[in-house]
Amino acid sequence: MPSESASQFPAAKGALAGVKVLDFGWAIVGSLTGKFLADHGAEVIRVESTSRPDMTRVDRRYSKSSHTSLDDKPWFAHLNSSKYSLSLDLKNPRSREVLDRLIAWADVVNENFTPGTLQRLGLDYDYMKTINPDIIFISGSLFGQTGPLAEEWGIDGTGAAISGRLNLTGWPDRVPVTPSSGIYGDYVVPQMNAVAVVAALAHREKTGRGQYMEASMFEVTTQEITPAVLDWQSNGRLEGRTGNRVVNAAPHGVFPCTGEDRWCAIAVFSDQEWNDFVAAIGNPGWAADARFATLEARKANEDELERLVGEWTSTRDPHDVMAYLQERGVRAAAVQGAEDIIDNDPQLRERGFLQTVEHSVLGPFGHQVPPFRLSATPARLRPAPGMGEHNEYVATELLGMSDPEYIELLLEDVFR
Amino acid sequence: MNKGLLSGARALDLTDETGFVCGKVLTELGIDVIKVERPGGDASRMIPPFHQDIPGVERSLYWKAFNTGKRGITLGIENPRGTEVFRDLVSRVDFVMESFEPGYLERIGLGYEALRAINPKLVVISITPFGQVGPYSHYKGSELIAIAMSGVLNNTGDPDRPPVKESLDSGLFHAGIAGALGGVMAYYHALMSGEGQQVDVSVQEVAASRLTSSILAWDMERVSLTRDGHKSQMGPTSTDWFWECKDGHLFWHMLGGAFGAPANKALSDWMDEYLEENPLREVTDWMKFDKAGIPQEQWDRFADAIRPFFLRFTKDEIREQSLKRGTNATVANDPHDLLESEQLRSRGYWTRLEDPVLGSLEFPKYFFQSRDTENFSLTAAPQVGADNEVVFRDELGLSTEKIDELRSANAI
């Protein structure tokens, strides 16, 4: 797999070097929050347990992974790069001897259990604050930590439905469609959580004060459709699903190309862009028609316009359409699939979209890099940890336990 | 309560719609974000929809949505006199956000290296469709174009129709938040080390970052996941996610094992009250039900019974029964549902912002909550050049004559 990247320009340290994170994050939102911090240099200790392993440690989709091992799932590897793993049985009372010291050690605590869970374990923010008064604490959830729906649970599809995004996705005459395999909030929310954490770290540098913060998928993703919320208030309009059409452009859509299920996208906004487009496709007779002379006219005759544009694209390869039209100043793209973006896209390759990391079980393969590039302190990925891989390191080196103390806890079955 | 986490920091926001959200996140962190527009106002002020459907630079609901909390000045940065003022501003701020075509700022002498020479601690956040370098970096983009290239578009839509875009500007929104994350990381690094840097965000790459399942499927098994309508392919079987009810749509998804058991049983029991034949009864122990192993044929039989069942009920009935029974069915909200949502209301999510043209409308107040600091949008988006006087005269200390001179040179 192609992936040259940041490693050609190694930085001495990541942007978050020296930051210590106690990470109870799980599934996608919690795991990614910690990953963004870890890939940029924070020391992130993931606390987990063999008795309730993360779903991504057992998810065998798209891998030849085993039923028995918790350490060979590429899904987990992608989401947990650069972290340390401490396996700890939170139900064992003596786990508290390790946890209390970790709470004192940490700058940041990350968690996304169902609201109320840490409270029931006696491990909520108020408790942690008694041990570490300036700790920075972030919770992620679906609906928020308070309110009548706080303890309802769900997944990304729930987020799509509640945020209003779903009803804006798809065709006007059909049931709304799943937004891109059902993944959005799961990737947007951890970025917001990480924003909050890093801003709180800077705040603490200046004020000495810690912070309790929480973000919900409901609230973060509802922000995305604010224009529709204002349109309702201002104009009483529910625009709903419009396929690929938008009010201020035509053509604006996805058109057929040669090859099986291959498509290109074309977006023409202003009259100048329309003129450029018409010139690019060789000034066909129909383009001079009054039906297409202005944006208003093109919107009124959009079905016919799309049919004619589709005739032009349908004999061409999607990447050829893109290159040809872009050279002539037209906004155009190939609709790319996984094979295109992983194996063939020279732009993503040059950016180092995937960084090759040597995984202890799976061998070397391309891992997802946080999707932004810091010029002076680029992300550097280390492989995701095996379950409990760093128990001894955390107990003895990080927390300074003596060997007999560590062995005693080991025999008490605390690390499982 | 104290002001936002990063109050005291300052930023210049030169972005168009590609980068609006980044500045909105920063302003909610308490940063003084000044939107820098060309004289007369940026072209992005003409993005629909408009207040009362009347186009105008102060009427774009799109522009107003994503520029709350910011102040606004006008400045022609290409104009030699404007350049001089801009350089002065750059020396006083912590962040510059921009979304120009890569190379444009270099051409007018304001590229990253030039800005760094003015202010070594500066964080420059650049958000563009494809990123700063590479063979596509000069391609023209938009939401649709960038997500087409990312793989996201290909994964969305009904199999018998072309791929279809998602929601409004999901890719730009996500990229704005990615820019803010890179930006605050770079700011923290500058605080600790004195070293600034450039944050390079590509909308295409940000959108592609969501595709872990497609990446794994191709990378590990050479399987191409394709668009699946209202379903989602999680493993070998494609199962329905979204359903129609009497007056709208809802999300209900069958999960396996202990995660899904209570909701699966609750739905099956509910169906039993109405149906003679209920295929969900085939499952005797939901705790042991392996969703990943369900054959497509069995799922299709389940779906054929569930589909007409949900159609019996209204959105309100689904909401009520879901809470009562624990079916975990979630109604798809429209904007008015969001404004009325008891959950959002109880958390103080909506806030009324006064705008001289729009009047008083409700906007989202925050991205996240804190017990100790207010990370909120507190003011409506700025009018064109609303803060010119304050910024140029009071903060930069320019004389009235100098300001008049800039005005007559069309720099402000």
Q: Are residues A270 and A220 in the same domain?
A: no
CA trace torsion A201, A207, A208, A209 (10° rounding)? -70
Sign of CA dihedral A321, A324, A327, A329: negative
Task: Check pLDDT > 80 for residue B331.
Answer: yes
Q: Are residues A290 and A146 in the same domain?
A: no
**A206 occurs within a structural domain:** yes
Q: Are residues A141 and A220 in the same domain?
A: yes
Q: Are residues A62 and A205 in the same domain?
A: yes
Cβ-proximal residues to B229 (8 Å cutoff; 6+ apart), any chain: A174, A175, A177, A178, B157, B158, B159
Say whether A95 sits in a helix, a strand or coil: helix
Task: List B residues 283-312 in contact with A (Cβ-Cβ < 8 A).
Answer: 292
User: What's the mean per-residue pLDDT of chain B?
Assistant: 95
- The number of C-alpha atoms within 13 Å of A394 and in the hemisphere containing its C-beta is 31
CA A217 to CA A160: how far, in whole Å? Answer: 9
* Closest C-alpha among B64, B77, B142, B73 to residue B105: B77
CA A393 to CA A19: how far, in whole Å? Answer: 17
Mutation target among A125, A143, A195 for the B interface, most CBs of B within 10 A:
A195
**For B196-209, how does the pLDDT look when each residue is reduced to its tens digit (9 = 90+)?**
999 999 999 999 99
Domain boundary among A326, A344, A362: A344
CB < 8 Å to A217, chain B: none
From residue B20, give the alpha-carbon distance in Å to each of A223, B49, B130: 12, 16, 17
Residue type, B262: P
**Interchain proximity A254–B163, CB inside 8 Å:** yes
The model's confidence at residue B412, banded by pLDDT at 50, 70 and 90, is confident
Task: Check pLDDT > 50 for residue B68.
Answer: yes
Helices (H), A177-332: 185-207, 217-222, 226-235, 271-280, 295-300, 302-313, 318-327
Domain of residue A300: give its range. Answer: 252-344
**A376 occurs within a structural domain:** yes
The model's confidence at residue A3, banded by pLDDT at 50, 70 and 90, is very low
**B71, B391 Cβ separation under 8 angstroms:** yes
Task: Check pLDDT > 60 for residue A407.
Answer: yes
Nearest-CA distance B99 → chain A (Å): 14
Q: Are residues A356 and A340 in the same domain?
A: no
Cβ-proximal residues to B367 (8 Å cutoff; 6+ apart), any chain: A192, A195, A196, A215, A219, A220, A223, B25, B28, B375
pLDDT for A241: 96
**A240 occurs within a structural domain:** no
Q: Are residues A218 and A130 in the same domain?
A: yes
What is the DSSP pairing of strand A354-359 with strand A363-368? Answer: antiparallel
pLDDT for B236: 76
Q: Are residues A163 and A94 in the same domain?
A: yes
Q: Tokens 């100790």 sit at which residue?
A: B372
Q: How many domains does chain A have?
A: 2
Q: Which residue has the higher pLDDT, B182 or B1?
A: B182
CA B329 to CA B250: how far, in whole Å? Answer: 7
Task: Check pLDDT > 90 for residue A385.
Answer: yes
Say whether A157 sits in a helix, a strand or coil: helix
Nearest-CA distance B235 → chain A (Å): 6
Task: List A residues 48-77 in contact with B (Cβ-Cβ < 8 A).
Answer: 55, 60-64, 74-75
**For A191-241, how does the pLDDT look when each residue is reduced to its tens digit (9 = 90+)?**
999 999 999 999 999 999 999 999 999 999 999 999 999 999 999 999 999
pLDDT for A10: 43
**A200 occurs within a structural domain:** yes
pLDDT for B225: 86
**For A114-127, how does the pLDDT look when each residue is reduced to its tens digit (9 = 90+)?**
999 999 999 999 99
Is some CB atom of chain A closer than 8 A to the CB atom of B113? no
The model's confidence at residue B397, banded by pLDDT at 50, 70 and 90, is very high
**A245 occurs within a structural domain:** no
Domain boundary among A296, A319, A344: A344
Helices (H), B119-196: 143-150, 170-193
Q: Are residues A139 and A155 in the same domain?
A: yes
**For B127-139, how does the pLDDT look when each residue is reduced to its tens digit (9 = 90+)?**
999 999 999 999 9
Q: Are residues A364 and A339 in the same domain?
A: no
CATH (domain of A292): 3.30.1540.10
Q: What are phi and psi for residue B19, nearest 5 degrees?
A: -125, 5
CA A41 to CA B254: how far, in whole Å? Answer: 38
Cβ-proximal residues to A117 (8 Å cutoff; 6+ apart), any chain: none
CATH (domain of A397): 3.40.50.10540
Task: List A residues 108-167 in contact with B (Cβ-Cβ < 8 A).
Answer: 143-144, 146-149, 152-155, 157-158, 160-167
Q: What are phi and psi for residue A210, nearest 5 degrees?
A: -80, -165
Nearest-CA distance B326 → chain A (Å): 9
3-state secondary structure A335-362: CCCHHHHHHHCHHHHHHCCEEEEEECCC
Task: Check pLDDT > 50 for residue A4.
Answer: no
Q: Are residues A367 and A314 in the same domain?
A: no
Say whether A4 sits in a helix, a strand or coil: coil
Mutation target among B166, B174, B340, B355 for the A interface, most CBs of A within 10 A:
B166
Say if residue A263 is exposed, middle or buried (CB neighbours under 10 Å; 0-12, 13-18, 19+).
buried
3-state secondary structure A67-83: CCCCCCCHHHHHHCCCC
Q: Looking at the predicted complex, does its ipTM rise above 0.85?
A: yes
DSSP string, A103-114: HHH-SEEEE-SS
**For B370-389, how does the pLDDT look when each residue is reduced to its tens digit (9 = 90+)?**
999 999 999 999 999 999 99
The model's confidence at residue B259, banded by pLDDT at 50, 70 and 90, is confident
**Interchain proximity B332–A166, CB inside 8 Å:** yes
Q: Are residues A53 and A106 in the same domain?
A: yes
Q: What are phi and psi for residue B120, nearest 5 degrees?
A: -65, -20
pLDDT for A12: 55
Which domains are delineated in chain B?
10-209+347-408 (3.40.50.10540), 230-337 (3.30.1540)
**For A235-276, how does the pLDDT look when each residue is reduced to its tens digit (9 = 90+)?**
999 999 999 999 999 999 999 999 999 999 999 999 999 999
Triad B337, B339, B343: Cα angle to 5°: 80
**B66, A265 Cβ separation under 8 angstroms:** no
Q: Are residues A122 and A22 in the same domain?
A: yes
pLDDT for A11: 43
**A57 occurs within a structural domain:** yes
Domain boundary among A344, A365, A390: A344
**A297 occurs within a structural domain:** yes
**For A15-57, how does the pLDDT look when each residue is reduced to its tens digit (9 = 90+)?**
999 999 999 999 999 999 999 999 999 999 999 999 889 888 9
**A311 occurs within a structural domain:** yes
DSSP state, residue B381: P
* Closest C-alpha among A181, A342, A172, A324 to residue A257: A324
The model's confidence at residue B110, banded by pLDDT at 50, 70 and 90, is very high
Q: Tokens 């019974």 sit at which residue?
A: B305
**For B86-101, how does the pLDDT look when each residue is reduced to its tens digit (9 = 90+)?**
999 999 999 999 999 9
Please give the average per-residue pLDDT across B180-207, as a whole number.
Answer: 98
Q: Which residue has the higher pLDDT, A109 or A51?
A: A109
pLDDT for B191: 97
Say whether A211 sits in a helix, a strand or coil: strand
Task: Check pLDDT > 60 for residue B240.
Answer: yes
Task: Check pLDDT > 60 for residue A399.
Answer: yes
A-B Cβ pairs (cutoff 8 Å, strict)? 500
* Closest C-alpha among B243, B3, B382, B93 to residue A209: B3
**B98, B126 Cβ separation under 8 angstroms:** yes
* Closest C-alpha among A202, A196, A208 to residue A110: A196
Instruction: Provide the phi-psi class of A392: left if phi over 0, else alpha when psi is between -120 and 50, else beta.
Output: alpha
Which residue is closest to A362 within chain B, CA to CA?
Answer: B220
Q: For residue B396, how far is the Cα from the chain centroid?
A: 33
CB < 8 Å to A375, chain B: 112, 197-200
CA B231 to CA B20: how far, in whole Å? Answer: 32
CB < 8 Å to B151, chain A: 336-338, 340-341
